[in-house]
């Protein structure tokens, strides 16, 4: 997976992580305000929605699915290009330490299906998806839904434990 693509001029140094300035400003408007939580979480209405780089929220998942599929193909192509260019060095164990690390990362991303990960996360129905300028998800922001085991009340009890609910899966 390539690094998050941030369009020039959309992110200031003070903005944390890979959020754009507009996404960072939009987040507090999406937070739960009707009950106390240990940490911020998005309201349930934002489950399986997309926080776009311009700070707006979209329900359209088609661009994400297309971008994720393309990212998977690009990861495989990068691995193929790398191994083709260094085939002899790989076979003879002559890769530099930096090349070995790069090969390891390329192998990981080529074997890690981002499309499957996206569908798995969508099936759990507990995330707001934060995307970069290429519509690739880089942050899975927790939503305050009763079945979410990763959102906690102030006493540290997860919403899932407090309600006895478990999150959905693709199988059921």
Classify residue 128 as exposed, middle or buried by CB count within 10 Å of its CB (0-12, 13-18, 19+). Answer: buried
pLDDT for 172 equals 47
**Two tokens, residue 10:** 């959309």
Report the length, in residues, of the chain: 172
pLDDT one-digit tens code per residue, 130-167? 998 888 888 899 999 888 888 888 888 888 888 777 76
| pLDDT value of residue 7 | 80
pTM of the predicted model as reported, rounded to 2 decimal places: 0.80
pLDDT of residue 167: 64
- Domain extents in the chain: 21-163
Nearest to 119 by CA among 108, 127, 111: 127
Q: For helices 62-85 and 97-111, what crossing angle results, to 10°?
A: 140
> What is the distance, to the nearest Å, from the Cα of residue 64 to the centroid of all Cα atoms in its chain?
11
């Amino acid at each position: 997976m390539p690094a998050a693509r941030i369009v020039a001029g959309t992110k200031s140094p003070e903005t944390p992580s890979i959020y754009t300035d507009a996404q960072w400003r939009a987040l507090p408007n999406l937070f739960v305000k009707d009950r106390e939580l240990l940490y911020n979480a998005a309201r349930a209405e934002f489950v399986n929605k997309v926080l776009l780089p311009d700070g707006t929220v979209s329900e359209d998942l088609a661009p994400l699915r297309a971008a994720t599929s393309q990212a998977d193909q690009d990861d495989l192509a990068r691995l193929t290009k790398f191994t083709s260019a260094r085939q002899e060095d790989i076979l003879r164990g002559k890769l530099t330490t930096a090349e070995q690390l790069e090969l390891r990362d390329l192998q990981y991303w080529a074997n890690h299906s981002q499309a499957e990960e996206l569908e798995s996360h969508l099936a759990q129905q507990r995330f707001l998806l934060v995307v970069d300028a290429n519509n690739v998800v880089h942050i899975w922001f927790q939503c305050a839904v009763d079945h979410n085991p990763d959102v906690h009340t102030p006493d540290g009890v997860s919403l899932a434990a407090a309600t006895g609910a478990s999150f959905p899966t693709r199988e059921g």
